[in-house]
Amino acid sequence: MAHPDDIDFGAGGTVRALVDAGVEVSYAIVTNGDAGGFQEDIPRSEIPRIRQAEQRAAGAVLGVDAITFLGYRDGELSVSHDLRRDISREIRRVRPDRMIIQSPDRNWERIPASHPDHLAAGEAAIQAVYPDARNPFAHPSLLHDERLEAWSVPEVWVIGAPTPNRWIDVTDTFDAKLAGIHAHVSQLPDPTEIDDRVRGWLTMQAERGGLPEGRLAEAFMVVSTA
């Protein structure tokens, strides 16, 4: 994910359900979110520390304590070889069976889902999945200096994609998702309105996915990388 809070807004209910099912989940957050927040009286130099702490608190709510921050500047992200290498490192280190990533394709129906950092993180992530992380000759320092063997990620779940094809019922984990979102205190100038807004998003997605009335869903584009 590009920023702290992206996973909680995009897939927090699904993450909680995975954890509850016994799946081991870890996060790699590309930036420290240092361009976020609303409080002008807090020095900008303090924002990375605050946002990392908030992400760790949100992770604890959802059952995730393995969180890596790659340390890139918020608002300045681009698809560089360095970023591809750093995501490839995490893939080779964690060796995941599934990755949840952001969409590299702009969603014209919901522009906030397509923050430039989201697009860059999504494009770098899919390039790291294929071809970088599975190619032992890509980013040779990972193999020769860090002893990280190549790894192929079998499946990618994309959030914020224009054309989702999988809807996950998160009605039972909605409260945990909201608790994770509320951990990002610095990003919520009006915490009282966020619950209804998120419920509205998930209700709309459930309707699009054909779920029964009253259910809530998170939407993904699921892609096999074989």
Kindly report the length of the chain.
226
CB 99 within 8 Å of CB 154? no
Distance from C-alpha of 138 to C-alpha of 81, rounded to nearest angstrom: 10
Cα torsion angle, 209, 154, 81, 148, sign: positive
Q: How confident is the model at residue 145 (pLDDT cuts 50, 70, 90)?
A: very high
* Domain with 101 in it: 6-224
Residues 200-221: tens digit of each pLDDT: 999 999 999 999 999 999 999 9
Ranking 11-15, 42-46, 76-80, 172-176 by mean pLDDT, the lowest is 42-46
Q: What pLDDT, on a 0 to 100 scale, did the predictor assign at position 16?
A: 98
Does 188 reside within a domain?
Answer: yes
Ranking 36-45, 99-108, 135-144 by mean pLDDT, the lowest is 36-45
Does 111 reside within a domain?
Answer: yes
Does 1 reside within a domain?
Answer: no
Query: DSSP alpha helices (H): ranges in 63-127?
Result: 81-94, 116-127
* For residue 80, pLDDT beyond 80: yes
Cα 113 off chain centre by: 12
Does 72 reside within a domain?
Answer: yes
Q: How confident is the model at residue 198 (pLDDT cuts 50, 70, 90)?
A: very high
Q: Which H or E run includes 159?
A: strand 155-159
Does 57 reside within a domain?
Answer: yes
Q: What pLDDT, on a 0 to 100 scale, did the predictor assign at position 93?
A: 98
Does 114 reside within a domain?
Answer: yes
For the chain, the domain total comes to 1
Q: What pLDDT, on a 0 to 100 scale, did the predictor assign at position 36?
A: 85
Task: Residue 174: give its domain's CATH number.
Answer: 3.40.50.10320
Residues 18-73: tens digit of each pLDDT: 999 999 999 999 999 998 877 778 888 899 999 999 999 999 999 999 999 999 99
